[in-house]
Amino acid sequence: MDPQDIAFLIISGFKKHYTLFQNMTVQVPQAFISQQWATIERISKSRISHYDQRVQETVNILKLQFPSNHICDNLWHQVKQAYIQILTFHPQAELAETFYNSVFCHLFHHSYFNNDFIFVSSTKQGEPLLPVEAEYRSYFPVLEGMRKTIEQMFADAELQAEFQDLSQDIRQLQKAFLKQAPNTHHQHFRMRFDILKSPFYRNKSAYIVGRVVSCSGVQPFIIALLHHPNGKLKIDALITNASQMSLIFGFARAYFLVETHAPSAMVSFLNQLMPSKTRAELYNSIGFHKHGKTEFYRDFLNHQENNNEQFSIAPGTPGMVMLVFTLPSFPYVFKVIKDEFSPSKPFGKETVLARYQLVKNHDRVGRMADTLEYSNVVIPKALIEPMLLQQIESKIASNITQEDDFIIIKHMYIERRITPLNLFLQSASDEQIEHAIRDYGDAIKEMLSVNIFPGDMLLKNFGVSRHNRVIFYDYDEVQYLTDMTFKPLPKTSLDDLYSGQSLPSCAPNDVFPEQMCTFVLTNPKLKAVFERFHPELLLPSYWQKMQRDIRQHITKHVYPYPQCQRFGNHNNKKGTL
């Protein structure tokens, strides 16, 4: 085949992927308006797996032309150059580069995974491929006044539904801006609004994302929209706090569903609003998690080039399923499935892979860390501490190959590094302990609300993020809540023990909530705090009720912002939404 023909074949595969991806996304606004939550969930899951399907289709076509994994160096140098030319004015060029990488890496040996053949470095590094203005609209209150300007903002969002009381919502919005961001209180002719054209959808909420530009500077904001009980729309909250905005776009939440023609422009705009977020995190947050992996890997390579440090075993209790290691100054951990599990883990590698994929596809409600999955990761042995190298060679031997001075890890998960909860509590103040244990219980409840049973609830499997939120990150025992059986702990008397009468047998999915304090909260101080805030979690009846609610499609809406931010009725904890 001619190099240009191959390049056009790959870009055609990408075009099909992106077109179908956006076609799924454009169905979401109508599903939101009609409250078809199952449809939104289905679309969200489909988008996650969609990329791999399109890559495989393109690979299959190319394999007919290249039946072996032997590469013709000169041909593929020319293919890459032809592809670069095609991307000169392509609005999704950075995503198309990642698609090219995926196709090539399916075809050839990892020794060719360098910038001569793939896009290790982007040809579009730095600036967005289209002006940032391509993704947002600007509004000028000087022209029509503040109220009409805000009304026009919501009209342009094309939410396709009537508001319950938009005038009242706008009054509350203005009051909230004045309270939360007093620097935005300027005369209407001394400011403008920049609003991303497309609303961001996730679960039962829609979000308007933008900024106020005034004489005082720039104030980013997010407006949260929900359904009123009568089915009409209402503004539920205004979020201007940088930390709260970061949590809404956080690594422990499901990806947003949002339409975009120029992802690089959208990410650049979001990065201006949330400069603490990396580009990788922002691409992940809007659903382009495959390109997020590419951006992350470039950050990782850049970190290695600029820091003289070695990989080491991660702090904390060693895992029974995963070997976990890290770079001291890099805020992520690397997890590899061990060859042999502890006897207390009666399952194998395929089960672990399936459970991590379950979490990837699921609503993580801000309580389960996202994972990046990589294959054939090459690490120089010189960058691995001797103790870790010994662990790699003894604990994950089947998952590595060694070539000269390199270790190639066949399969790896990467997660944001957070402080293990058990370690955090060792040096925490009484106030910090109380907050962490309360949030630990809240995390469990929120996972239960979306039909996730975390399985192993030991404190070492949870961590504390930089926002002081408790996040779950060990998924090898995750199952659906509705697959479990919750029972009261069998009562035994001394006579039973002396007579040798055996306890009732336990099925694999039997759970005794009363044992949480026996095995998880062995410290009396922690137990007392937990019992004060979450006594219901020690009762089988609570877990059984959560199961019934899920089976009856009664779901609790988990708000990604504090209750005090909500407009009106702040005490409505459950929110029947």
Two structure tokens written together for 69: 């994994």
Average pLDDT over residues 6-31: 97
Least confident stretch, 30-34, 120-124, 565-569: 565-569
Q: What DSSP character marks residue 477?
A: T
Q: Is 225 helix (H, G, I), strand (E, B) or coil?
A: strand
Q: Are 284 and 292 contacting, i.e. CB atoms less than 8 angstroms apart? A: yes
Q: Is pLDDT at 66 greater than 80 in this prediction? A: no
> What's the pLDDT score for residue 127?
66
Asked if residue 25 lies in contact with residue 200, where contact means CB atoms within 8 angstroms, the answer is: no
Question: In Å, how far are 77, 284, 488, 521 from 335, measured between CA atoms?
Answer: 34, 19, 35, 26
Band (498; pLDDT cuts 50, 70, 90)? low
Provide the strand spans (E) within 365-424: 372-380, 400-403, 406-416, 419-420
479 neighbors 453 (Cβ within 8 angstroms): yes
> What confidence category does residue 508 fall into, taking pLDDT thresholds of 50, 70 and 90?
confident
Residue 145 in this model has a pLDDT that exceeds 50: yes
Residue from 169, 194, 370, 476 carrying the catalytic annotation: 370
Query: How confident is the model over 506-528, as a mean pLDDT?
Result: 90
Choose the weakest-confidence range: 8-12, 129-133, 281-285, 365-369: 129-133
Per the annotation, where are the binding residues for ATP?
A: 314-320, 335
For residues 267 and 279, the answer to whether their CB atoms sit within 8 Å is: yes
Residue 186 has pLDDT above 90, yes or no: no
Please enumerate, by residue number, every residue annotated as part of a binding site: 314-320, 335
**Phi then psi dihedrals of residue 175, to 5 deg:** -65, -40
Q: Mean of the pLDDT values across residues 167-177?
A: 93
| Amino acid letter, 375 | S
- Bridge partners for 407 per DSSP: 379, 402
> pLDDT at position 501, please?
52
CB count within 10 Å of CB 413 equals 21
The angle formed by the CA atoms of residues 342, 485 and 512, to the nearest 5 degrees, is 65
C-alpha count within 13 angstroms, C-beta hemisphere, residue 45: 12
Check residue 128 and give its pLDDT: 72
For residue 202, give both structure tokens. 């996730």
**What one-character DSSP code corresponds to residue 82?**
H
d(CA 394, CA 408): 15
- Residue for token digits 């002719």? 189
The verdict on whether 370 is a catalytic residue reads yes
Write the single-letter amino acid at 247. L
SS3 labels along 111-172: HHCCCCCCCCCCCCCCCCCCCHHHHEEEECHHHHCHHHHHHHHHHHCCCCCCECCHHHHHHH
For residue 504, pLDDT over 90 is answered with no
Enter the tokens of residue 569. 């009725």
| Amino acid, single-letter form, for residue 48 | I
pLDDT score recorded for residue 575? 37
Single out the residue of 477, 456, 467, 484 nearest to residue 416, CA to CA: 467
- Does residue 462 contact residue 450 with C-beta atoms inside 8 Å? no
What CA–CA distances, in Å, run from 35 to 31, 200, 207, 426?
6, 15, 15, 45
pLDDT tens readout for residues 368-401: 999 999 999 999 999 999 999 999 999 999 999 9
Name the pTM for this structure: 0.93
Q: Among the ranges 63-72, 476-485, 563-572, which has the highest mean pLDDT value?
A: 476-485
Q: How far is residue 432's CA from residue 442's CA, in Å, rounded to a whole number?
A: 15
Q: What is the pLDDT of residue 576?
A: 31
Whether residue 189 is predicted with pLDDT greater than 50 in this model: the reply is yes
Tokens (6 digits) for 445? 């409840």
| 3-state SS, residue 551 | helix
Instruction: For residues 533-541, give the mean pLDDT.
Output: 96
Cα–Cα distance measured from residue 169 to residue 162, given in angstroms and rounded to the nearest whole number: 12
Q: Which two tokens stand for residue 280?
A: 């990788």
- The pLDDT, as a whole number, for residue 569 is 57
